[in-house]
Amino acid sequence: MTTLPLVFDAPKRTKPPRHLADLTQEQRRAAVAELGLPAFRADQLSRHYFSRLTADPAAMTDLPAGRRDELVATLLPELLTEVRHVETDNGMTRKTLWKLHDGTLVESVLMRYRRKAAGTAERDDRVTVCISSQAGCGMACPFCATGQGGLTRNLSTAEIVEQAAAAARLAASGELSGGPTRLSNVVFMGMGEPLANYTRVVAALHRLIDPAPGGLGLSQRSVTVSTVGLVPAIDKLADEGLNVTLAVSLHAPDDELRNTLVPVNTRWPVREVLEAADSYAARTGRRYSIEYAMIRKVNDQPWRADLLGELLSGRLAHVNLIPLNPTPGSDWDASPKPVEDEFRLRLAAHGVPVTVRDTRGREIDGACGQLAAKA
């Protein structure tokens, strides 16, 4: 059995440069005032970044021409530098490798799903970006490439937000296959355990959902935070007054197996994780998601499907079955389709809502569990 050192603070590194997205709107106004400018200039700068999706001084014609470069250099420093991107699904899925100010590497994945708006001929595409909250991960789940690489450091609030802002800019530019569109969903399912970087992730959530000029103005229901089950942090998140979706990476219904697949289970076992998720659902009114990677002959037995169904029956929960994605050096494979189908049907027989995830990005190592940020 793998044991996890329960230390969630990342190694200390050079502090990222201060960015507008690190600050509340009042803090932005104070920063602008320090430069000798009226506080309302902070609102204008915020509107350029979050609404107009630009950090180009030349585009900020409502700001004093002689101060634009200074404002941008002070509050909109470049945080992410694209190293490369790769595409699949006819250009509808794009994985980007980013270099941070200190050379740290992280990845994000942008996915476009084509669909028509109900009752019309117009398209209402869903555009989702999967973002990272840490460089690497300290949770040590053995079937996940990110977990196998260990934790490098936490990302700053702005480094998290800028991944979503970059995705919004790309969607609006029309460079993503399908033409210009808007970012609609953000999922914290990239590199890292979001709730192990709690303070910065919660601040990032506010930047994503706050209306202009304070943030991107996304619907809370379109933002999902994933966790392996850090119970105190789930309880704390429930008290934040947010209404984002919670996703729990369970992967096994019994503690014996989950201790191996998700080592933090030795600290907070299945029962406690589900109770915390129930409390979150009760306080927010939002159904939570149970993420379950289907691993051949490891966690896909019929009796485990029944046990999971018994555990979740009557709970405000939905199961998302995920065909295991291959990772380097792993001997584990995805469950065969007939086994997956039986598992799904057994859950449904217990009255548990269940779907099978439409895996995107597997060919470019951009699917769930595959992000490794290799140069």
What is the spatial distance between Cα 341 and Cα 314, in angstroms, rounded to a whole number? 22
CB neighbours (10 Å) of residue 189?
Answer: 22
| Active site (annotated) includes residue 137 | no
What are the backbone dihedrals phi and psi of residue 235, each rounded to the nearest 5 degrees, phi first?
Answer: -60, -40
β strands within 180-257, DSSP E: 185-188, 223-227, 245-249
What is the spatial distance between Cα 325 and Cα 293, in angstroms, rounded to a whole number? 9
| Active site (annotated) includes residue 107 | yes
Are the beta carbons of 309 and 347 closer than 8 angstroms? yes
- Going by C-beta distance under 8 Å and a sequence separation of 6 or more, which residues neighbour residue 35? 67, 70, 71, 74
Q: Which of 130, 141, 144, 368 is catalytic?
A: 368
Label residues 67-94 b or e (16+ Cβ within 10 Å = b): bbeebbebbbeebbeeeebebbbeebbb
155 burial level (CB within 10 Å; 0-12, 13-18, 19+): buried
- Going by C-beta distance under 8 Å and a sequence separation of 6 or more, which residues neighbour residue 162? 19, 21, 79, 80
- Going by C-beta distance under 8 Å and a sequence separation of 6 or more, which residues neighbour residue 1? 259, 260, 266
DSSP tag of 333: -
Kindly list the distances between the CA atom of residue 243 and the CA atoms of 157, 185, 254, in Å, as whole numbers in the listed order: 19, 14, 29
Exposure on the CB side of residue 330, measured as CA atoms within 13 A: 22
Map 89-153 to HEC letters: CCCCEEEEEEECCCCCEEEEEEEEECCECCCCCCECCEEEEECCCEEECCCCCCCCHHHHHCEEE
Q: Which of 107, 159, 162, 291 is catalytic?
A: 107
By annotation, the residues acting in catalysis are 107, 368
